[in-house]
Every structure is written in structure tokens, then in C-alpha cells.
Amino acid sequence: MSREVNAPFEKCFPGFSYALTPEEERFIKHLKEFEFLDSKREQPENMTRRVQAKWMAIPLGTFDRCGKSLLELGLVTKISPPEAPTTIRYRIDWNVHDKLVAIVMITRKIDLLLTFFNHHCRQLRKSIADLTDEEINTLRK
């Protein structure tokens, strides 16, 4: 899903911190910034992993770990642009992002959200997209 980007910032969802590590949240924030910057150019800039990690102010190993984890959660997709096949770019999957927003907006019960994401996404290794309505509705207690 493509999204029109009008500014280099996005709403903050505190509930994301119950599903993601601080580094993963930072990764997502910067991907949003990269999409904003790309929208202002005729062609997206092809940055290496090292440049992206530096831009995010995280070590390269953390960058790789975040990319892998967010891929498993389904929040991002990984692409190699044809014009730069050795360059890895991550893109936010906005459908999955919006599903995560909807999930964290169901309740403000911190313990319930922590338990939910730990069980379903960490222990069962389910992606956000694979979470069923039945599972999500358990948050409506």
C-alpha cells in the first residue's frame, strides 16, 4: 500500500513499544523518513546497509538484526533495486503497519499488550499479518 507522505514525521503509537524493541522502533521511524525523502526525489537514493545504519545511528549488526526481525513480523519487505543489486532496501508494508496500529489501539493495558505480543509474535513466531481476529479480540477483555 502506497501512502502519500507530506511531512518528515508520523504519528507516534506508544503501543508499538510493546511489540517492538527500541531499535526496531527507530528502524521503522527512519524507514518512514527514507520514504519521505524518496518522495521528494525523482528516483530513490540507493544507500548501502552501512549508510542506512549510520543514518539511523545504530551499529550495522543491530541494523541487520532489526531488518530480520521486522521481516519476520511482516512489517517490512526487503528489496534490491535493479539499478543497484548489491544494495538492500527495506520498505514498510503499510497494510501490516496499519494492522499493528489497530491492534495497539484496542487497549491501554500494558501487561495485556506485552503478554499478547510476547506470546504470539515472539514465542509462536507469528507475523502481524498472520494474527487472527480471534487472537486479536482477546485484547478486548
The fraction of the chain above a pLDDT of 70, given in percent, is 89
* Average pLDDT of the residues of the chain: 88
pLDDT of residue 1: 52
Question: How large is the average pLDDT for residues 96-100?
Answer: 96
Lowest mean pLDDT among 38-47, 59-68, 100-109: 38-47
| CA proximity to 61, closest of 11, 23, 101, 14 | 23
Question: How large is the average pLDDT for residues 50-79?
Answer: 94
CA distances from 132 to 63, 83, 114, 136 (A): 29, 38, 17, 6
pLDDT of residue 41: 77
Confidence (pTM): 0.85
Of residues 71 and 8, the one with the higher pLDDT is: 71
- Whether the pLDDT of residue 25 is over 90: the answer is yes
Question: Domains plus CATH for the chain?
Answer: 16-140 (1.10.10)
CA 61 to chain centre: 17
Question: How large is the average pLDDT for residues 7-25?
Answer: 84
pLDDT of residue 2: 55
Question: How large is the average pLDDT for residues 38-56?
Answer: 81
Do the Cβ atoms of 104 and 15 come closer than 8 Å? yes
